[in-house]
């Protein structure tokens, strides 16, 4: 038994190193923008050797996409409690809380399409959030919680005001704000469906 190699733990050190690299990359993208971060800086910030970065992500865009997906994973999820109004309000509050952090504000600024040339990177990252929203809205339509609606349009309608409040920076987004946004948008969608 003593001569047998130790079984690899799922995750373990490899998962920890991977997480450190992805977190460091997202921080550097937020600080320097997509076009200006360097692998050497990622390795230094992550506390790993730069070969660990190159070996796992020989393609720079793949590293950026994965790091930003890693960062927005929580933003991409939306609960399904059976109450679409409540679920959308929770989703918006989670989005607002992330955007209101110094890191979230900096990252959102760095990701503005006009500020970098890697538009495809941003599109890949945002696809997760859009897909989660569409799935939840489609489920709500199937259950009769909502009339038939373009889920991408609905996502834009409810998230736009949150981005506006955060961008202004004059006050934090509150639970009352997101509930009011969801209420107004869904009331409009439900009213136009009856016409």
d(CA 136, CA 156): 14
**Over 50: is that where the pLDDT of 53 sits?**
yes
Topology alike, domains 12-58 and 77-194:
no
The whole-number average pLDDT for the span 178-191 is 96
Residue 93 corresponds to which tokens in the numbers above?
């509050």
pLDDT, mean of residues 174-193? 95
Write the class of the CATH domain 12-58.
mainly alpha
Average pLDDT, the chain: 81
Which of 81-85, 91-95, 125-129, 183-187 shows the lowest mean pLDDT across its residues? 125-129
Q: Which CATH superfamily is domain 77-194 in?
A: Tetracycline Repressor, domain 2 (1.10.357.10)
Q: 3-state SS string over 74-128?
A: HHHCCCCCCCHHHHHHHHHHHHHHHHCCHHHHHHHHHCCHHHCCCHHHHHHHHHH
Q: How confident is the model at residue 7 (pLDDT cuts 50, 70, 90)?
A: very low
Cα angle value 80/193/156 (rounded, 5°): 55
Domain limits, the chain: 12-58, 77-194
Greatest C-alpha distance within the chain: 76
* Phi-psi sector, 11: left (phi>0), alpha (psi -120 to 50), beta: left
What pLDDT is recorded for position 51?
Answer: 92
Residue 4 is predicted with a pLDDT of: 42
d(CA 102, CA 106): 6
């Amino acid at each position: 038994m003593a001569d047998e190699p130790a079984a690899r733990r799922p995750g373990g050190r490899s998962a920890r190193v991977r997480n450190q690299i992805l977190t460091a990359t997202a921080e550097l993208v937020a600080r320097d923008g997509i076009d200006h971060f360097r692998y050497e800086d990622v390795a230094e910030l992550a506390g790993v050797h730069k070969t660990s970065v190159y070996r796992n992500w020989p393609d720079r865009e793949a590293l950026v996409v994965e790091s930003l997906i890693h960062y927005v994973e929580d933003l991409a999820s939306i609960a399904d409690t059976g109450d679409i109004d409540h679920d959308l309000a929770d989703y918006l509050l989670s989005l607002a809380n992330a955007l209101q952090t110094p890191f979230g504000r900096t990252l959102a600024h760095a990701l503005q399409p006009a500020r970098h040339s890697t538009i495809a990177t941003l599109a890949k990252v945002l696809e997760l959030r859009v897909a989660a929203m569409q799935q939840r809205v489609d489920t709500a339509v199937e259950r009769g919680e909502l009339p038939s609606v373009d889920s991408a349009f609905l996502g834009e309608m409810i998230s736009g005001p949150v981005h506006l409040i955060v961008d202004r920076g004059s006050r934090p987004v509150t639970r009352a704000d997101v509930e009011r946004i969801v209420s107004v948008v869904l009331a409009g969608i439900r009213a136009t469906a009856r016409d």
